[in-house]
A and B are shown apart, each in its own frame.
Chain A
Amino acid sequence: MTAFRSLSLAMFKGFFRDKAALFFTFVFPLIFLVVFGLLFKDAGTSKIKIAAVGDGPVITALEKSGAVELEHVDSLDAAVAKVKNGDLPAVVAQQGDSVVLRFAASDQAKSGTVLGLVAGVVDQANLAATGQPPKLKLDPARVEDSSLKPIQFLTPGLLSWGLATSAVFGAALTLVNWRKKQVLRRIRLAPVGTPTVLSSRLLVSVGVAVVQAALFVTIASTPLFGLKLSGQWWLGLPMLVLGTLSFFSIGMLVGSFAKTEEAATAFANLLVLPMAFLSGTFFPLDSAPAWLKTVSNVLPLKHLNEGMLNVLVRGKGIDSLLVPGGILIGFTLVVGVIAAKFFRWEDA
């Protein structure tokens, strides 16, 4: 057996026999998937609910449009009372040819939407009544894949975060443990080069990442969560490797400084958790201040997230990986060089 193979095997065995590592690598990200996945399950489909009084073509058309949800109320007075109370943003009433719309101006966003919607439906009904073909035709369609539910955004983000966590912790803890238990000194006395040792540890990290991603995506794809992968999902694999490389380098840096496993865990948490928030893992950064977005641009997690989103759910091609991939490679090189500089074979 070659040194590379046996070192990799030794580390794989050590990993799969470590229950805590298994939990944090495979189960922990799934817990987040369950929490966020179920929390946001209906967020994308939530519709404005308005009151409807009476019956007629406009009410029917609104109902069919699916754009709003209607709550049928017996009398206009009762419905207006509800709007005044703030229970509902607006009420539509139709009696014969007269259509009445009353809305709460206090809820500008919703009432604006309702106003536009009802006006559109009324115009269409008017046009239909004239029997004339419409002169201008509107062709509306959403830009995202029609299945773009929250799970589609959540999966790449949570997956990237899970990959980051396991790669940083894996590399850092192995390095500290090997130094503490004198395995590094012993290996240094054996005729095996540093590249062999490094690459075998890297192989383990990538292997674990592949299993982690497969499990995560499989579970996210169950009907409960309803993830739909785009056609070119396999482009996520090179992204996974590049991401693992950059988190591996962070782990090496942490492991070079930390003397104990406890310290390594603390350092790694200190890096990974803020990075997760700043990279939009748990919620989007759209409303974050500009300087925060700038900061997030130097974080590898942001770019892994971006690349994964592009190929897993946006259905983009390989060229969408050039920028995030390039940044990840650059990050790995910079942090890797720093880590190599601070690397120690033994304490003190």
Chain B
Amino acid sequence: MTRTRGPGGTTIVVEDVHKHYGDLHAVDGVSFTVAEGEFFGILGPNGAGKTTTLEIVEGLRSPDSGTVTLLGEVPWPRNPKLLPRIGVQLQASSFFDKLTAREQLETFASLYGVSKATAAETLELVGLTDKADTRENKLSGGQRQRLSIACALAHDPDVLFLDEPTAALDPQARRNLWDVLRAIQGRGKTIVYTTHYLDEAEILCDRVAIMDKGKILAMDAPATLVRGLDAPTHIVLAHGLVAEDEARGFVGVDDVTDDGVSLTMSTRKPAPVLTVLAERGALDGLQVRTATLEDVFLNLTGREYRA
């Protein structure tokens, strides 16, 4: 298939998109670009506007204002030229009544002219082969989620949109899905996805946009965002190994708290602190926690991140 590149290998260009529902500003001036082959994540708490943004890019909703270009085309109103090249997993699963997992996938795949054999491979890919003959309503939440991802993948789209694909997945299935998504990206496909798992986004995404209340608060590579925070490293020890006052005297320690279970030291120079602890043999239960996207979110919004 010939690949229509946007300007400079850009797959998605979103410029100043707004969307109101009555008085509610669901999307409030969002702009971003996604490069070809990029893994792009949109993060944010419930109601941040992630789904609305994604659906505007997919061409399922019209923006009130602003422009969207997807693979060099305008997705709204329904643009049949784009449809075979994008794969979409909606946040709420969408299935036919009373069909088995295999039948669901075969039916959706056939809408794209995809053969039964390919559909079967896709089912294998998401680990549902042993559930192929189970009716959709008898699948577990995570299995249904995987089926709906399979329905987005089967026709091997150039751009994949996944709305909280890892919600409801057990840790094993989550990791399997990560592998699947990485393999897809490895074949040069572009992936845009939303998630509530900040740790997951750090692992998977080339870049993330952090949204809250319809606006993008920050957008960059996860590592860059975290580094930009200049947040302290936390060193956690079991309670009783080192006295709180003593810990305050260590070189490099800025702050100490002891909640009776563990002692936490904040530092911007972890190396000398760890050396002192090693010398004293006080390493039992030692944890080193560096800043994460969670801290970035806290820093941006002043609120704890709760998914």
Contact = CB atoms under 8 A, between A and B. Distances in A.
B99 A13 contact: yes
Of A2, A7, A13, A177, the most chain B CB neighbours within 10 A belong to: A13
Bin the interface of chain B by size.
Answer: 20 to 34
Nearest to B80: A191
Interface string A243-255: 0000000000000
A71 B229 CA distance: 110
Contacts of B86: 189
Contacts of A187: 111
Interface in A141-189: 177, 181-183, 185-189
B94 A182 contact: yes
A100 interface: no
A33 B108 CA distance: 40
Interface string B72-103: 00000010100110101010111111110001
A189 B97 contact: no
A191 B107 CA distance: 13
A1 interface: yes
Contact of A188 (B78, B106, B110, B112): B78
B112 A191 contact: yes
> Secondary structure at chain B's binding surface: helix, strand, loop or mixed?
loop
A13 to B, nearest CB: 6
A67 B95 CA distance: 65
Task: Tell me which of A7, A14, A190 has the highest count of chain B C-beta atoms within 10 A of its own C-beta.
Answer: A190
A17 interface: yes
Main SS class of interface, A: helix
Top 9 closest A-B pairs, CB basis? A182-B94, A6-B110, A190-B111, A191-B83, A186-B94, A17-B98, A10-B107, A14-B98, A1-B110
30 contacts: A1-B106, A2-B110, A2-B113, A3-B110, A3-B113, A5-B110, A6-B107, A6-B110, A10-B96, A10-B103, A13-B103, A14-B97, A18-B97, A18-B98, A181-B94, A181-B95, A181-B96, A182-B93, A185-B60, A185-B90, A186-B90, A188-B78, A189-B58, A189-B60, A189-B88, A190-B83, A190-B112, A191-B80, A191-B83, A191-B84
Interface of B: 58-60, 78, 80, 83-84, 86, 88, 90, 92-99, 103, 106-108, 110-113, 115-116, 151
Interface of A: 1-3, 5-7, 9-11, 13-14, 17-18, 177, 181-183, 185-193
